[in-house]
Amino acid sequence: MFNWFKKSKPGPQLPTPKDKYDRAVLGDIERVGWSVICINDGSTPYQFSVGMFHTLKHPEIIILGLKQEVGGYIINQIGGTIALGKTIKPDVLNEDYTNTGNYFKTVDPVHYTEYCGYAKWLYRGSGFPMYQCVWPLKSGLYPWDAGYPPEGAEIQPLLT
């Protein structure tokens, strides 16, 4: 069990694994406190956490439009700092995880089925919170800024 983690006790019993992938994800959650799911199905790649809400009582994290290695690294950095006691606040510029700064936005559960069905399996429904880690384009523009190009919205749609 994740000995380094003493912030809060794990939540309710996790589901029974159905295959080796489920066992690997649940094993990550038991050892680390969360797992990172990477999706690259030919459209916009994205990554999201599963288990942070269970073990850290913190919203899950999703990041869209970055390569698997980058997005996964950022999510793991976020999880590590949360486990050490940092609180993530939505709608505030955060400069801890990316060179360009980022914001956390609350994800509308209407997007859970399309983007994070595995988390729905873990929590047996949509009863968990999630933040989207939103990063700027090279131009420095965020999706809500005037002049944000349409192709940016294809790479990083807002799930708020």
Per-residue model confidence as pLDDT tens for the chain (160 residues): 444 444 455 567 888 889 999 999 999 999 999 999 999 887 789 999 999 999 999 999 999 999 999 999 999 999 999 999 998 999 999 888 877 889 999 999 999 999 999 999 999 999 999 999 999 998 899 999 999 998 888 899 999 9
Q: In the chain, how many domains are there?
A: 1
Task: Tell me, yes or no, whether 88 lies in a domain.
Answer: yes
Task: Tell me, yes or no, whether 123 lies in a domain.
Answer: yes
> Does the predicted model carry a pTM greater than 0.85?
yes
Q: By residue range, what is the domain housing residue 81? A: 20-152
> Where on the phi/psi map is residue 10: left (φ > 0), alpha (ψ -120 to 50), or beta?
beta
> Please, what's the b/e burial string for 133-152 (b: 16 or more CB within 10 A of its CB; e: otherwise)?
bbbbbeeeebbeeeebeeeb
Task: Tell me, yes or no, whether 6 lies in a domain.
Answer: no
Task: Tell me, yes or no, whether 44 lies in a domain.
Answer: yes
